[in-house]
Amino acid sequence: MALQIQMIGTGSAFSKKYYNNNALITVDGSMLLVDCGATAPQALHKLNIPLDRIDAILITHIHADHVGGMEEFAFRLKYAYKKKTRLYVPSAIADSLWNHSLRGGLENLAEGMSGLDDYFDVVLLDEGEASAVFPNLQVELIRTEHIPAKPSYSLFINDMLFYSADCKFDAELLTRLYEHRGCRYIMHDCQLSSPGLVHASLDELLTLPPELQRTVHLMHYDDTMEQFIGKTGEMTFVEQHKWYTFS
Ligand SMILES: O=c1ccn([C@@H]2O[C@@H]3COP(=O)(O)O[C@H]3[C@H]2O)c(=O)[nH]1
Ligand SMILES: [Zn+2]
Ligand SMILES: [Zn+2]
């Protein structure tokens, strides 16, 4: 069965034109939301996708454009839908996700709500191991560089698709995945103006050989994206809300 991806948003953290760069991955009718940023509830509403239609959420790292919608998600699951959704979290960020990000809003000791487990069916993920999120959806975490000493994880999906979380340019990783791991598609965050600082810049991505560039789909871009159409070498921009099929 083909894997389909619809970005509910393709914008950078501070974009005012595009929703946060969060993905819906669908296989056999099951839906995984990769990251749930501050604009995710609004983007899903725009797409007519109720929150309880999502079977699982996976978090790549703790920045508001990736986790800022989690409080609304948790409250609405708990009080409106009265159900728990599966939440895949890298082991290295689970404690921080609760204590440094969500606890202030979600903790309610009077009702016994004192951790992530009280809102979600939490599944911890470890780097380098492929996990079956659904029977036909395997996800492997790859720790990639973003902010010094801050854990951030890109994904290698079904042994064919590399989905960058937010990460700096790493030509060696991309080349290795392409040459030795069967990677055929790359979805990569892209900072359009150099220097990239905490993201891969377009200039850096343009140094990849054309053969590799042809696999690259650019996302997590700022509001000037349209000015860069035709200036991305062999690479193409991902459009938010459009369905992409990878097989
Ligand atoms: O050391 C830092 C930390 C953060 N930032 C900015 O804040 C944003 C947070 O979300 P993001 O990771 O999508 O993008 C980040 C950058 O735009 C930065 O430029 N340098
Ligand atoms: Zn981001
Ligand atoms: Zn980030």
User: C-alpha distances in angstroms, 25 versus 13, 55, 85, 236?
Assistant: 21, 10, 15, 19
Q: In the structure, what pLDDT confidence band is assigned to residue 28 with cuts at 50, 70 and 90?
A: very high
> How many other CB atoms sit within 10 Å of the CB of residue 151?
19
| Cα(110) to centroid(ligand 3), Å | 34
Which pLDDT score is estimated for 120? 98
Which pLDDT score is estimated for 133? 98
- 58: Cα within 13 Å, side-chain hemisphere: 27
The pLDDT of 111-131, averaged and rounded, is 97
| Structure tokens given for 55 | 């079977």
The pLDDT of 155-166, averaged and rounded, is 97
Q: In the structure, what pLDDT confidence band is assigned to residue 31 with cuts at 50, 70 and 90?
A: very high
Helices in 6-102 by DSSP H: which ranges? Answer: 40-46, 64-67, 70-76, 91-96
The pLDDT of 89-108, averaged and rounded, is 98
Cβ of 97 less than 6 Å from ligand 1:
no
Tell me the pLDDT tens digit for each residue of 2-26.
899 999 999 999 999 999 999 999 9
Tell me the pLDDT tens digit for each residue of 187-202.
999 999 999 999 999 9
The pLDDT of 164-173, averaged and rounded, is 97
Contact 137, 247 (CB under 8 A): no
ipTM of the complex: 0.98
With a cut of 90, say whether residue 244 has pLDDT above it: yes
Cβ of 204 less than 6 Å from ligand 1:
no
| Cα(82) to centroid(ligand 3), Å | 31
Cβ of 190 less than 6 Å from ligand 1:
no
Angstrom distance (rounded) from CA 142 to CA 172? 13
Q: In the structure, what pLDDT confidence band is assigned to residue 1 with cuts at 50, 70 and 90?
A: low
Q: Which residues surround ligand 3, an ion (CB under 5 A)?
A: 63, 166
Tell me the pLDDT tens digit for each residue of 55-83.
999 999 999 999 999 999 999 999 999 99
Which pLDDT score is estimated for 123? 98
Going by C-alpha positions, the residue among 156, 216, 153 that lies closest to residue 190 is: 216
Cβ of 62 less than 6 Å from ligand 1:
no
The pLDDT of 195-215, averaged and rounded, is 97
Cβ of 66 less than 6 Å from ligand 1:
no
| Cα(13) to centroid(ligand 2), Å | 5
Ligand in nearest proximity to the CA of 147: 1
The pLDDT of 206-230, averaged and rounded, is 98
Ligand in nearest proximity to the CA of 22: 2
The protein residue with its alpha carbon nearest to ligand 1, atom 20, reads 198
| Cα(247) to centroid(ligand 2), Å | 26
Ligand 1 atom closest to the CA of 12, numbered from 1: 13
Which pLDDT score is estimated for 229? 98
